[in-house]
Every structure is written in structure tokens, then in C-alpha cells.
Amino acid sequence: MFRKAERKKIKLKIAYSAPSGAGKTYSALLTAFGICGDWSKVAVIDTENGSAELYSHLGEFSVCPIEPPFTAEKYIEAIKGAVAAGFEVLIIDSLSHAWSGDGGMLQQHDDIVRKSKSGNGYVAWRDIDPIYTSLVDCILQSNIDIIATLRAKDAYIETNDGGRKGYKKVGLAPIFRDGVEYEFTVFFELTQDHYASPTKDRTELFGDGGFIPTIETGQALNEWRNSGADWKCSICGQTMTSALYRKTLKAYGAAVCSAECKGEHLKKQPLETGDEPF
Ligand SMILES: [Zn+2]
């Protein structure tokens, strides 16, 4: 029932959150090239009116522009398209449009509230939650390295100084649903003078002090990922994709790479029911 815990090779899910003008597109591009070392394997979903193309002198990366309305479906379609086309790193620039942009989730929420008799905003989230989950799951589970950029706004907390209420600036907040930073392998905040610092870092590669992202940032992330263990079939030991590993582990209680290995496993531990991932 228990097995030894080990960190496996994963697809990287990185985020750069920054106010406009801090260089998040440029930082994401350098990081992407550092990860895969080949501009032809880098793709950009562009909601920012061609801002990635300002950097086309860097190399021959590909761009998929998305126009409003910025629905989650459009993002999901573009992510699946990037995987199918064989790109290795996908930059989503920016993810914030899916939240606060024209036709994004906040606007869809407002539309539902306006059309409802109750005008109950809380209830309307029931319709938006699955949309949010489908987009975040697609980002996290797709078999491709992803670097998302997010716009950030000044964040304030309410202060109470002897009964006198006020607000104090406490840094930057990404424009997306609260808590999105916990979904990523590393979540960087970029300051106006281009310094990145991680607010969340599963790799423990980056200290609290700021640094300017470069190609080496991507190289370090790639090395960290490659230092993880392979995903291996529990019957024959062959390397398999993380997606098939997870799917078969869930369905059969063992990671199996093929119908043959599944058969071998089920001879030992028959299941009454189960999906058919092969
Ligand atoms: Zn096998």
C-alpha cells in the first residue's frame, strides 16, 4: 500500500506576475528558451495585441493570438493545439485576460448575476467554478511546460490606527482568482525594475532576494526537473508518460505501460470494474 516517496520528472508550470512595463513577456520568453534550448519549440498564446512579437528578433518562436471574448474555451483550445503541434514550452501571455478581460470569467459572472432574478452573486459562482477548474486543470495536466504571465495590481490591506481606518500598500496581487499562485511549480513576482522573486517555489532554487530572469533561469528549472525520477511501469519498468502513469495508477492501483502489463497486474490483483485507458 505504501511506496517510497520520490520526486518525479514533471512538466514545469511557471508564472510571472507583474504590473505592465515590468517585462513579463520578455522574462517569460528568455525562461522558455532556457528550458528547451530551441526557439522553434516555443509557442506563445498572445492576448496582449502582439506584445510577444515585439521580441521576434530573439528567435523563431510561434504565436497564437487570441481575440476577445477571452473565454476559457479559447485558452483550452490553444493549449491543446500547442501540445498537438509538438511545442515544448507554451507561454500564456496573459492568463489574466481569462479572468478580468473582455468576456472573461468576472464578466461572465456579472452577466449571470444581471440576468438572474435573485441577483445573487454567490450563487452565480456555481456556474463559473467549473469553468475556472477546467482551465486550471488544463494548464496543470497538459503534457507541456507552461509559463503563464499575469497582470498585477497594487495590493492593499485595511489598517486600523486607533479607530482611524486606512489602507496600506503591501506589494502586488496577481489579477486572477485568489490563491492561483499555489497551483504553480514556481510563482514569480516581477517588480517594475525587472527583478523577480518567488512568492511560491517548489524547486527551492530561488532565494528571497530578487534577480533578473535570464536564459539561465530556464536552464536551472529544466535541470531541476530532469533531476526527478522517471515515471516507470510497475510491471516491466519501462519509462512512460506522467499522464498514463497517473491514469493507470488511478484505474488499476498500479502504473502499467501497456495492455500486456495491465493484464499481468490484473492477474495478481483483479479489479471488478475499471476504465479502459488503452
Ligand atoms: Zn510495462
* 128 and 245 together in one domain: no
Q: How far is the CA of 261 from the centre of ligand 1 (A)?
A: 5
Query: Between residues 14 and 241, which one has the greater pLDDT?
Result: 14
Alpha-carbon distance 186 to 205, whole Å?
9
* 129 and 23 together in one domain: yes
* 74 and 169 together in one domain: yes
**What's the total number of domains in the chain?**
2
List, as own/partner pairs, every contact residues 235-241 make where C-beta atoms lie below 8 angstroms and the sequence separation is at least 24, other chains included. 235/261, 235/264, 235/265, 236/261, 241/143
Q: 135 in a domain, yes or no?
A: yes
Q: How far is the CA of 36 from the centre of ligand 1 (A)?
A: 28
Q: 172 in a domain, yes or no?
A: yes
Q: How far is the CA of 189 from the centre of ligand 1 (A)?
A: 42
**What is the percentage of the chain residues whose pLDDT exceeds 70?**
96
Q: How far is the CA of 239 from the centre of ligand 1 (A)?
A: 8
DSSP state string for 71-112? -HHHHHHHHHHHHHTT-SEEEEETTHHHHHSTTSHHHHHHHH
> What's the pTM?
0.87
Q: 3 in a domain, yes or no?
A: no
Residue 4: pLDDT over 90: no
Residue 273: pLDDT over 90: no
CB 216 within 8 A of CB 235: no
Q: How far is the CA of 265 from the centre of ligand 1 (A)?
A: 9
Give the single-character DSSP code of 2: -
pLDDT tens digit sequence for 175-209: 999 999 999 999 999 988 899 999 999 999 998 77
Alpha-carbon distance 194 to 213, whole Å?
8
Q: How far is the CA of 262 from the centre of ligand 1 (A)?
A: 8
Residue 270: pLDDT over 60: yes
Q: 95 in a domain, yes or no?
A: yes
* 128 and 254 together in one domain: no
The greatest distance separating any two alpha carbons of the chain, rounded to the nearest whole angstrom, comes to 72
Q: 56 in a domain, yes or no?
A: yes
**pLDDT at site 184:** 96
**pLDDT at site 276:** 60
**What's the CATH code of the domain at 127?**
3.40.50.300
**What is the percentage of the chain residues whose pLDDT exceeds 90?**
73
Q: How far is the CA of 257 from the centre of ligand 1 (A)?
A: 4
Q: How far is the CA of 278 from the centre of ligand 1 (A)?
A: 12
* 171 and 257 together in one domain: no
* 264 and 205 together in one domain: no
User: With bands split at pLDDT 50, 70 and 90, how would you rate the model's confidence at 274?
Assistant: low
User: Grid cell 514556481 — which residue?
Assistant: 186
Instruction: Kindly tell me the burial class for residue 146, based on how many C-beta atoms sit within 10 Å of its own C-beta (0-12, 13-18, 19 or more).
Output: buried
Which residues span the domain enclosing 18?
13-226
Q: How far is the CA of 263 from the centre of ligand 1 (A)?
A: 10
Q: 116 in a domain, yes or no?
A: yes
User: With bands split at pLDDT 50, 70 and 90, how would you rate the model's confidence at 157?
Assistant: confident
Distance of alpha carbon 125 from the chain centroid: 22
